[in-house]
C-alpha cells in the first residue's frame, strides 16, 4: 500500500466513511499549498538540525522536533486532500500564495523559537525576505548558530527554486507567460517545458548542478566547505544573504560570485539549450 493510500485510509477511519467526496478546486489547492509550505520549512529545519548536530551548536533539538512535526503534518495533510480532476488556474495561484504565506509565518516563528531573531515581527520580516529572495536582512549573520545560518540560506534557496518553477513550469501551463518557457523546442532540441512535470524536472537538472558547482568552486578558494555552502545557496538564488566574515576580500571569490549570479540570472531556456550542445 502506498503512503498516499495509507493516508487516505487513515482519513476514512477518522471520518467513518469508506469514500469521501472530492474537494472543490479552491479548497484542494489551498490545502495542498498549506501542506507544501509545511514540508518546505520542515526539510530546511531538518537540514539545520543536522548542521547543529555536526558542529555542536545550540537549538539542534528544536530544529529537529520542528522538522519532524512539520513533515508529518504536511504528509498527512497531503493524504487527506481529495483532489478534483482539474484545478482552476486562479485556485492554483491561490494555493501557491497560501504556500508562501505558510512558509513566512511558520519559518518566522521557528526563528523566534531558536533565538535567531528577538521578536516575531522580525522573524516574519526575515522569513519573507528569504522566501522571496529579497536581498535584505535584519539579523547579524555572525551571531547566528550554524543551523540558523543554514536554515536562513536554505529558505532563500527554496524561494529561488520556487520562483523558477512558478515562472516556467506553472504559469505557462495556465495559458499566461508562455514566452517564459520553451514548450516546443527548436532545431531538434528537446523543449524545456513540454509539460509542467517535465519542466520541473528539467529545472532541477539545471538548478541543482549549478548549486553544487558553485559550492565546490567557493570551497576550493579556501573559504571552507560550510561558508562555501552558504555563499553558494545565496548566489544561485540571487538573494544576496551575507556570510560570516568578509569572503569578498578575495578576487577569486568575487569572480565566482559574478559568474554564478550571471548564470543564475540568464534565461533558463538559454541554459537548457546550451546544456544540450
CA 62 from centre of chain: 20
62: Cβ contacts below 8 Å, ≥ 6 apart:
110, 113, 114
**Is residue 217's pLDDT more than 90?**
yes
- The reported pLDDT for the residue numbered 193 is 66
**Is residue 10's pLDDT more than 60?**
no
| Average pLDDT value for the chain | 83
Number of neighbours of residue 234 by Cβ within 10 angstroms: 25
Confidence grade of residue 50 (pLDDT, cut at 50, 70, 90)? very high
170: alpha, beta or left? (left if phi > 0; alpha if psi -120 to 50)? alpha
Helix-helix angle 146-164:25-55, to 10 degrees: 150
Helix ranges, 114-224 (H)? 120-131, 146-164, 196-218
Q: Where is pLDDT greater, at 38 or 89?
A: 38
- The reported pLDDT for the residue numbered 137 is 82
Amino acid at each position: 500500500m502506498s503512503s498516499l493510500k495509507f493516508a487516505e485510509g487513515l482519513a476514512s477511519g477518522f471520518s467513518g466513511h469508506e469514500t469521501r467526496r472530492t474537494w472543490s478546486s479552491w479548497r484542494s489547492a489551498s490545502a495542498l499549498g498549506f501542506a507544501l509550505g509545511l514540508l518546505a520549512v520542515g526539510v530546511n529545519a531538518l537540514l539545520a538540525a543536522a548542521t547543529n548536530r555536526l558542529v555542536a551548536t545550540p537549538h539542534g533539538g528544536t530544529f529537529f522536533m520542528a522538522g519532524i512535526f512539520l513533515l508529518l503534518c504536511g504528509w498527512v495533510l497531503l493524504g487527506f486532500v481529495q483532489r478534483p480532476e482539474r484545478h482552476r488556474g486562479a485556485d492554483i495561484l491561490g494555493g501557491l500564495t497560501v504556500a508562501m504565506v505558510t512558509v513566512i509565518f511558520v519559518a518566522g516563528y521557528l526563528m523566534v523559537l531558536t533565538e535567531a531573531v528577538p521578536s516575531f515581527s522580525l522573524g516574519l520580516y526575515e522569513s519573507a525576505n528569504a522566501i522571496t529572495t529579497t536581498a535584505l536582512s535584519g539579523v547579524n549573520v555572525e551571531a547566528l548558530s550554524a543551523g540558523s545560518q543554514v536554515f536562513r540560506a536554505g529558505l532563500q534557496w527554496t524561494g529561488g527554486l520556487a520562483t523558477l518553477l512558478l515562472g516556467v513550469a506553472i504559469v505557462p501551463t495556465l495559458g499566461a507567460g508562455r514566452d517564459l518557457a520553451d514548450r516546443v523546442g527548436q532545431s531538434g532540441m528537446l523543449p524545456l517545458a513540454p509539460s509542467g512535470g517535465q519542466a520541473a524536472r528539467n529545472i532541477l537538472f539545471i538548478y541543482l548542478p549549478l548549486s553544487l558547482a558553485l559550492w565546490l568552486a567557493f570551497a576550493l578558494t579556501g573559504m571552507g566547505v560550510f561558508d562555501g555552502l552558504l555563499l553558494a545557496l545565496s548566489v544561485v538564488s540571487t538573494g544576496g544573504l551575507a556570510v560570516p566574515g568578509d569572503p569578498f576580500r578575495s578576487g577569486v571569490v568575487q569572480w565566482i560570485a559574478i559568474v554564478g549570479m550571471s548564470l543564475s540570472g540568464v534565461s533558463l531556456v538559454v541554459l537548457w539549450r546550451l546544456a544540450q550542445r
